[in-house]
Amino acid sequence: MKEVNRKSAIVIGGSIGGLLAARVLADHFDRVTIVERDRLPGVGEQRRGVPQGRHTHGLLASGAAAMERLLPGLRGELLDAGAVPGDIVNQGLWFHAGGFLRQVPSELNGLLQSRPLLEGIIRQRVLALDRVHVLEECEAAGLMAGCGGRRVTGLRLKDGRALEADLVVNATGRGSHGADWLEELGYGQPGVERLEVALAYTTRLFRRCGELSGNIAAIVPPTPSGKRGGVMLAQEGGRWTVTLISHFVPAAPMDLEGFRGFARLLPSPCIHEAIRTAEPAGEAQSARFPASVRLRYERLKRFPEGYLVFGDAICSFNPIYGQGMSVAALEAVALDHALGAPDVAAAFFREAARIVDIPWSIAAGNDLRMPEAAGARPASVRWINWYIEKLHRAAHRDAELSLAFHRVGNLLAPPPSLMHPRLLWRVLRENVMGRRSGCAVPLDRQYQRT
């Protein structure tokens, strides 16, 4: 940071991204204040400002590792609170290209839990730090600036108060006013990339009683023709969370029979078979997500000192890929590194862009398979989507290809790693030889782990 003073920092927003940012800032500043517009609930309780908290959430292996690095012992606390552990490759049913990817033991040992449980335990840990304080039910109104607008000096609240700080981190999420606040200070707005996905999703909880043949997850992505998909994950409290997804078609109904009927339309019958007779636990919840949005702060030529934007306020991903929480955790690690650089904003936004590039390319590339999604489809994107479908088909049988795909999906390896000559050969061999043999793995056998 160009300034020497490290007395106080403010984080706007007390969601997972804001909490992880506060955790890092507590190592660098004497006092960290989280400004949160909601009243903070107890562990496991829904927070009013997170309506999507009632829906299925995924934490990728890379995000879980980053959170454990920032909050040692977090995994153990989640396990004690009932989170469900498991190998997400060997105990997950991943349906792609007409079949399930090969199940094989892996190092991708995940934890499945609800968003309120994860956020609540993170919040409990962060707020226990001596240097971290929280102002609940307070809403930010804008930035304060000095030095002719070159430096952000604090935050204005809607109740009229002013909070001074040496650094303000905007972690207010998808609805952030961060770009508008920059413009008010005389800076340009960042470029925006927007991909319309017209996503609608409906979620229900069910009692867990041996469904999915001992597996802990089933993931059935929407296809360009059917445009319907679903995710089913084990949760704490002996429950399943089931989210049914639609792109550019009506959402899954809220009533139980309509919900089950929608599940019958998915590319794989596994979720419908699991919930057909399962006991529901509570009422359905629905939500819509119109578009993935990325703001290119790293491309701005001018940016004020003492101010950063973080998490979903930089990039809001299509939620069906479960990337948001993990990207926020990786950005928190990047923030820790950037706070040692001469120009914190330049260092952080450069690293955050690198982190976002991979999940954005994965999500955008896959979403562009939908004919209705508006966006450029250069030959490279069309070729990659064609190749990934061939890789999925080969990964129905090939364990190495299945593991390689999951490592990329969990942000542990870059997408180009799937083009390694060794993997290219395996994709070619399996598609050619598999087609000649005419052998396909039956659905019932694909439920069986190796």
Sheet with 31-35: strands ordered across: 132-135, 31-35, 8-12, 167-170, 307-309
CA atoms within 13 A on the CB side of 96: 23
With contact defined as beta carbons under 8 Å apart, do 34 and 138 qualify? no
Identify the DSSP state of 174.
G
In a shared domain, residues 349 and 408: no
Domain that holds residue 249: 195-290
In a shared domain, residues 246 and 215: yes
With contact defined as beta carbons under 8 Å apart, do 94 and 101 qualify? yes
- The pLDDT confidence band at residue 58, using thresholds 50, 70 and 90, is confident
CA distances from 297 to 17, 97, 191, 347, 361 (A): 17, 36, 7, 11, 17
Q: Decide if 234 is inside a domain.
A: yes
Last residue of a domain, one of 290, 316, 338: 290
Over residues 429-450, mean pLDDT: 57
Q: Which residue has the higher pLDDT, 300 or 444?
A: 300
In a shared domain, residues 279 and 321: no
HEC readout, 92-150: EEEEECCEECCCCCCCCEEEECCHHHHHHHHHHHHHCCCCEEEECCCCEEEEEEEHHHC
Q: Decide if 94 is inside a domain.
A: no
Decide if pLDDT at 410 tops 50.
yes
Quick one: CA dihedral 9, 12, 14, 18, positive or negative?
negative
In a shared domain, residues 21 and 74: yes
Model pLDDT for residues 394-409, shown as the tens digit of each residue: 999 999 999 999 999 9
Bridge partners of 413?
A: none
Q: Which two tokens stand for residue 296?
A: 């290119």
Identify the DSSP state of 37.
S
With contact defined as beta carbons under 8 Å apart, do 35 and 221 qualify? no
With contact defined as beta carbons under 8 Å apart, do 9 and 167 qualify? yes
pLDDT for 178 equals 86
In a shared domain, residues 77 and 158: yes
Q: In CATH, what number is assigned to the domain containing residue 224?
A: 3.30.9.10
Whole-number Å distance between alpha carbons of 446 and 443 = 5
- The pLDDT confidence band at residue 434, using thresholds 50, 70 and 90, is low
Over residues 125-139, mean pLDDT: 97
Model pLDDT for residues 244-285, shown as the tens digit of each residue: 999 999 999 999 999 999 999 999 999 999 999 999 999 999
Q: Which two tokens stand for residue 446?
A: 């694909």
Whole-number Å distance between alpha carbons of 287 and 226 = 20
Whole-number Å distance between alpha carbons of 235 and 56 = 9
Pairing of strands 167-170, 307-309: parallel
Last residue of a domain, one of 290, 312, 345: 290
End-to-end CA distance of the chain: 52
Q: Decide if 372 is inside a domain.
A: no
Q: Decide if 90 is inside a domain.
A: no
In a shared domain, residues 29 and 128: yes
With contact defined as beta carbons under 8 Å apart, do 195 and 365 qualify? no
Alpha helices in 276-419 (DSSP H): 324-338, 344-367, 379-395, 399-409
Exposure string of 82-120, with b = 16+ CB inside 10 Å and e = fewer, is: ebbbbbbbbbbbbbbbebbbbbbebebbbbbbbbbbbbb
Collapsing DSSP states into helix, strand and coil, what is residue 204?
strand
Q: Decide if 327 is inside a domain.
A: yes
Nearest residue to 36 (alpha-carbon basis) of 152, 128, 127, 166: 127
Over residues 345-373, mean pLDDT: 94
Residue whose pair of structure tokens reads 């920032």 in the numeric block: 70
In a shared domain, residues 146 and 69: yes
Collapsing DSSP states into helix, strand and coil, what is residue 450?
coil
In a shared domain, residues 155 and 234: no
Domain count, the chain: 3
Bridge partners of 195?
A: 292
Decide if pLDDT at 204 tops 80.
yes
Q: Decide if 88 is inside a domain.
A: no
In a shared domain, residues 220 and 347: no
In a shared domain, residues 157 and 297: yes
| Torsion (CA) 163, 165, 170, 172 in degrees, nearest 10 | -30
In a shared domain, residues 296 and 284: no
Last residue of a domain, one of 247, 275, 290: 290
CA Rg value for the chain: 22
Share of the chain above pLDDT 70, in %: 95
Nearest residue to 320 (alpha-carbon basis) of 289, 294, 285, 293: 289
Whole-number Å distance between alpha carbons of 441 and 355 = 36
pTM, two decimals, is: 0.93
Q: Decide if 371 is inside a domain.
A: no
- The pLDDT confidence band at residue 6, using thresholds 50, 70 and 90, is confident
pLDDT for 450 equals 37
Q: Decide if 103 is inside a domain.
A: no
Chain-wide mean pLDDT for the chain?
92
Q: In CATH, what number is assigned to the domain containing residue 35?
A: 3.50.50.60
In a shared domain, residues 26 and 48: yes
